Amino acid sequence: MEILVVVDATNSRAPDGPATVVAGLSLLERSLRLAEICGGDEILLCTTNPSALPPCDIAHRKISVQPISPGDPLDPRLRPDIVLFLDAETVYDRSYLQQVVKSFTDTDPGEAVRTADALLAMKRLAPDEKLQPTPEKLLKHRYNFPPRLSGGWTVPVDSRRAAQRAERRIWNSCRKPEDGIISRHLNRHFSLAISRRLAPTSLRPDHVTAVTFFLGIAAALAAAIGGYAGFLVAGVLYQLNSIIDGVDGELARARYEFSLRGEWLDTLSDDLSDLLIYLGIGIGAWRTAVEFPGPFEPTAWLALGITAAVAKLATIVIYYRWLARRGRGDLLSFQWSFEKNSDGNTTDRILRSLRYLFRKDFVVFLAMIMSFGGYLPHLLLLLAPGNLVVALSVLLQHRTFSEEF
């Protein structure tokens, strides 16, 4: 199914035209990246003044971008199945647009669709239907399509205030419905504030992932030193690691910088950080056990740390296999058995009701709170059996995974 994306830059309404920057990208660059993400095999950039267009990072694109003036004839070799029209000075809801494109591939030839505000239009061509010979005639009919779908959001950027409104929409869309309690009410406020400052810079999501991983290593080393001071620093760094962990994904969504490599780097960073911190807490408690009186021998703390780490390792080995078979690297695409069935047995219902308490954001926040009171090693009393339960759950799902493979 070949998709032609027509980016209309013939009308200038934005304060700086297509060069207007929203969330770190010019409107033109944002339109071209969105066209690529939505599956565009070819992009026609319609403009009355190609020399006035802002510079765009299009050299790396596998698809071709052809700036054309209204009077230029279209390439007669273009034979797309679907034509998608985008306004170069409108910011679109990416997720909704992708859903529209996906659903429209099943539309009967000759039918057309647009959103209720007429800022997004698509048409599936009939086998014998030809494109209009010039951009003027091609664009002429984009607003004449009958309403059929509505939803999502679009923001035409025709003023500074509209640009600010579009930017708020973009950053708010970075909030995920599956966010845990701490992520939703605490972490996102800080991570989004950081992402807004980083968006105009050249810093990429992968760079932020590297920073996140180094914070995890630093937290593990501090925990391995042990003592009240070491565990306090570890708890604070672990929470900071959790907050910064949201920044790479937010930058990727706001600037359309998605990649399979980025997904895997983020997942590996999270899991390796957890493994190292579990071991670090066990080693630190073992080294400074005299500061933590109780019924446990020093080696018991070390055993708890190793148990938590090994159980975590067993879990990731299985779900990494699941992700690799599906060509994904994002752990959020992994679905637990108790999430698949809305009814399920009693165990599934209990796990669903308590799922937010097992989320990393909640565990990390609890670790920081416990470190303030000098009780961070006692978190292993929850992590060791908890990780064993999770590992067992994943192992029980292994047969289902094998059948799906």
Query: Where do the DSSP E strands lie in 128-255?
Result: 154-156
Q: Which residue has the tokens 């409107």?
A: 27
Q: Higher-confidence residue: 33 or 401?
A: 33
Count CB atoms within 10 A of the CB of residue 405. 9
Greatest mean pLDDT among 100-104, 351-355, 379-383 lies in 379-383
275's tokens: 């493994």
Residues 94, 210 within the same domain? no
Residues 147, 266 within the same domain? no
Q: How far apart are alpha carbons 330 and 264 in whole angstroms?
A: 7
Mean pLDDT of 320-342: 66
State the pLDDT at residue 226. Answer: 94
Provide the percentage of residues in the chain whose pLDDT is more than 70: 80
Domain around 333: 174-404
Residues 88, 163 within the same domain? yes
Residues 210, 128 within the same domain? no
Q: List, in order, residues 6 or more apart from 234 with CB less than 8 Å away.
A: 219, 220, 222, 223, 277, 280, 281, 284, 371, 376
Does residue 199 carry a pLDDT above 80?
yes
State the pLDDT at residue 146. Answer: 46
Domain count, the chain: 2
Which of 116, 141, 169 is the last residue in one of the domains?
169
Q: Which residue has the tokens 């170069």?
A: 88
State the pLDDT at residue 113. Answer: 55
Residues 130, 179 within the same domain? no
Residues 141, 179 within the same domain? no
Q: Higher-confidence residue: 109 or 320?
A: 320
Q: Higher-confidence residue: 2 or 287?
A: 287
Tell which residue, 139, 154, 162, 122, has the closest CA to residue 20. Answer: 162
Which of 143, 169, 195 is the last residue in one of the domains?
169
Does residue 384 carry a pLDDT above 70?
yes
Which of 138, 169, 200 is the last residue in one of the domains?
169
CATH number at residue 325: 1.20.120.1760
Query: Where do the DSSP E strands lie in 316-405?
Result: none
CA distances from 305 to 19, 221, 232, 339, 402 (A): 53, 14, 17, 29, 30
Residue 22's DSSP bridge partners are 25
Residues 359, 387 within the same domain? yes
239-258 per-position pLDDT tens digit: 999 999 999 999 999 999 98
Containing H/E element for 87? strand 82-87
CATH number at residue 164: 3.90.550.10
Kindly report which listed range (149-158, 375-384, 391-400) carries the lowest average pLDDT score: 391-400
Mean pLDDT of 348-371: 77
Does residue 214 carry a pLDDT above 60?
yes
